[in-house]
Amino acid sequence: MVYFSELFGNSSDKFGRLAIWLVTREAIVCPNVRDLFTAGGKNDYVIGEKVYQKVPRIFLNLVRQCSKHC
């Protein structure tokens, strides 16, 4: 997610560079790369007593990955 920080933006082509990298560097063709980051839509996220409503799935994935590896 650090290499492809544009995934957190609002651009309509934010998954393009990732898709190209997958094909050229890893020989992986993934026509639904967007779904890997957005499947599940939006959820509420609770930190302490604060509830953040309708957080996009990509942020929840980031938090989950950081909690596993940090």
Give the pLDDT mean for 59-66.
76
- In this structure, how many other beta carbons lie within 10 angstroms of the beta carbon of residue 65? 11
- Rounded CA-CA distance 20/7 in Å is 14
**What pLDDT, in 10s, does the model give residues 2-27?**
888 898 888 888 899 999 999 999 99
Q: Which residue has the tokens 């544009």?
A: 6
Residue 50, phi-psi category: left (phi > 0), alpha (psi -120 to 50), beta (remainder) = beta
**For 39-54, what is each residue's pLDDT tens digit?**
778 888 888 999 999 8
